Structure 1
Amino acid sequence: MCKLSLCLLVAIFGCLVADSLAGVARNGDVQRQIVVVKNVRDFAAEHPGLKLQRLQKQPAGRMSGQSVRYTLGARVSGDRLVAQGADVFSYPAQKDVSVQLTYPESGAGSIVTFVELICTQDNSEGNAYVVAGGIGQRFISIVVEAKQTNSFGYQAQYFGSD
């Protein structure tokens, strides 16, 4: 129980640090409607003009389960870590998992230059797609899919410039 408490404390601290690192100017006038995407193929079928942008996928090394690294964009001179987040999910039986990650959660953030997602799951089957915003814009929304897994975790880092 002590390890679990320590892990939760570290996760909460990480979220607080990420929020303080963000340095995002919150503009109350900026409104964006976030649509939660449960199935990226259904979402694409409902929006015929939409071009889904797939993130680059590569193995991220062996931890517990399979680790997959997704990236988009490139680090540029003067950019910095503007946000980060992490979460872990466990399921009693294998299932397809879909998670939507959005930076920033509201308002306008820094101009996104690079995104890195490290996902840990039972296998390496899955993908990540940009469904709104993107590199060079002040927001990004990504759907991450993992296939037939009992556990799924992610660590997301967003880099940007002003």
Structure 2
Amino acid sequence: MLLKSLLLLGCVALIHGAALQEQEEAAETIVNILNEEQMAKFLAENPDAIKLNREVSIQGRADYTVYKLTWTLGARKSGDTNVYNGYSDYIWFEQASNPQIIVTYPKEGTGKVVTHVSIETKQSSTSGEAYVSAGGIGQRTIQFYVRGYNTIFYAWDINIYGQ
């Protein structure tokens, strides 16, 4: 727990002002920058991680191109509610970076049964991936990792629904 706290503190210092917002049934969100060796270690430690498929769309701007990467898991169900929303403002890096978001729902104990997850990132590249490493749809917990590659800016909007 201390390691996670120190990692989170270090990441907050790196990202200068990213606004993290969470609902009251909060999940834990950690943001960090991984190199290839660290990502390989994560995949080795999580051999059952499920890689999610993504969609890519372009949101043009006058001064740069924004790519929106979207991953979804499960489906909305009658009576489910948004149990977690985490998002950030744009985080700008001095050089191309590989940011990673780790989301664990719920932060402690057991939450509602997860029905749907929607993950959206906005970044300067089309490269990214997402993995579910624990829990999942139909369970009361979920943990997933979302990673962007070779991007100079990064923002996310994550929603988890449950009943």
Aligned partner of 1:55 among 49, 52, 56: 52
The CA distance in 2 between the partners of 1:37 and 1:131, in whole Å, is: 18
**Normalised by the size of structure 1, how large is the TM-score?**
0.72
Match of 2:85?
84
C-alpha displacement of 1:40: 4.2
Residue correspondences, number: 134
Which amino acid is the alignment partner of residue 134 of structure 2? A
Q: Is contact 1:56-1:70 (8 Å) kept?
A: yes
Match of 1:131?
133
Unaligned runs of 5+ in 1: 1-7, 25-33
The CA distance in 2 between the partners of 1:51 and 1:119, in whole Å, is: 24
Matches within 5 A, 1:3-152: 15=21, 18-19=23-24, 22=25, 39-47=38-46, 50-62=47-59, 65-87=66-88, 88-152=90-154
Percent identity between matched residues is 30
Q: CA RMSD in A?
A: 2.6
Q: 1:86 to 1:111 in 2, by over 3 A?
A: same
C-alpha displacement of 1:74: 1.1
The CA distance in 2 between the partners of 1:37 and 1:45, in whole Å, is: 18
SS of the equivalent of 2:150 reads strand
The CA distance in 2 between the partners of 1:107 and 1:116, in whole Å, is: 22
Unaligned runs of 5+ in 2: 1-16
**Normalised by the size of structure 2, how large is the TM-score?**
0.71
Q: 1:63 to 1:83 in 2, by over 3 A?
A: farther
Structure showing greater Rg: 1
Q: 1:96 to 1:137 in 2, by over 3 A?
A: same
Q: Is contact 1:58-1:69 (8 Å) kept?
A: yes
